[in-house]
């Protein structure tokens, strides 16, 4: 698929998400929030669900957590336009409650199609709900900042920026995890099994029951 066709498919997918009525969240939303960013992004960031600001504007991470995300991106010389940013759930859960399993399930194939179209080197999961998509039953406090290989791609779980705003002692951990991201991207691009650097620059290969992102198209016929 050439770049023009991928771009057209991503735009069509984002439009489809904006119209979605698969779960009851569509009734209380002002706007669905498909995600945004570059089709050529080396990194896709996946948060939990839109909050009040995102719901109002139809864009991901535009509130305080988004400001922190932009500051963290600046540390590694990137802007939000250089990456792709989305969420596990595309509509705001009322009162910012946790997303329900059926809401996550309703959005699951949207996320799979976004990951497949962007085809990033690295998937950064922000917080527990996004981590559970690839790494169920792990503790974020144990695995944050490590690289888990799924096919060609690395999944790097991180604390959610909103969690670092609530617990300032987590901010230096999140900053350190961001600082390792360029080395993870290089490791994928150079096809290395182990990222260079300190031992904490960890890459683990995951034999998972779920299909890796690159194979999702075998199961999800949506694209």
Residues in touch with ligand URA (CB under 6 A): 47-51, 54, 60-61, 65, 87, 162
**Which residue(s) pair with 86 in the sheet?**
46
Q: How far is the CB of 46 from ligand URA (least distance, A)?
A: 9
Q: How far is the CB of 54 from ligand URA (least distance, A)?
A: 4
Q: How far is the CB of 64 from ligand URA (least distance, A)?
A: 8
Closer residue to ligand URA in complex, CB, 89/187? 89
| Long-range CB pairs of 196-204, under 8 A, 24+ apart, other chains included | 200/145, 201/147, 202/145, 202/146, 202/147, 203/146, 203/147, 203/148, 203/149, 203/154, 204/146, 204/147, 204/148, 204/149
**Which residue(s) pair with 154 in the sheet?**
122, 149
Q: How far is the CB of 125 from ligand URA (least distance, A)?
A: 11
Closer residue to ligand URA in complex, CB, 32/117? 32
Closer residue to ligand URA in complex, CB, 32/216? 32
Cα–Cα distance measured from residue 223 to residue 209, given in angstroms and rounded to the nearest whole number: 22
Q: How far is the CB of 115 from ligand URA (least distance, A)?
A: 16
CB 183 within 8 A of CB 196: yes
Cα–Cα distance measured from residue 14 to residue 223, given in angstroms and rounded to the nearest whole number: 12
Closer residue to ligand URA in complex, CB, 38/87? 87
Closer residue to ligand URA in complex, CB, 118/187? 118
Q: Which residue is nearest to ligand URA (CB)?
A: 47
């Amino acid at each position: 698929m050439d770049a023009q066709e991928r771009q057209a498919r991503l735009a069509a997918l984002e439009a489809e998400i904006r119209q979605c009525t698969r779960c009851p969240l569509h009734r209380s939303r002002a706007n669905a929030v498909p995600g945004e960013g570059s089709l050529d992004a080396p990194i896709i960031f996946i948060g939990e669900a839109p909050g009040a600001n995102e719901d109002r504007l139809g864009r991901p991470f535009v509130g305080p957590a988004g400001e922190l995300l932009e500051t963290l991106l600046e540390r590694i010389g990137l802007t939000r336009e250089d990456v792709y940013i989305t969420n596990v759930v595309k509509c705001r859960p009322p009162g910012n409650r946790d997303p329900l399993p059926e809401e996550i399930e309703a959005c699951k194939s949207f996320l799979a199609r976004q990951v497949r179209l962007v085809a990033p080197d690295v998937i950064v999961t922000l917080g527990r709900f996004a981590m559970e998509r690839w790494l169920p039953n792990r503790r974020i406090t144990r695995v944050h900042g490590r690289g888990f290989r799924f096919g060609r791609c690395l999944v790097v779980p991180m604390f959610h920026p909103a969690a670092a705003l609530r617990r300032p002692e987590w901010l230096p951990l999140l900053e350190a995890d961001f600082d390792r991201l360029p080395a993870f991207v290089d490791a994928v691009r150079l096809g290395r099994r182990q990222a260079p650097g300190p031992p904490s620059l960890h890459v683990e290969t995951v034999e998972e029951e779920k299909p890796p992102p690159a194979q999702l198209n075998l199961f999800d016929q949506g694209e």
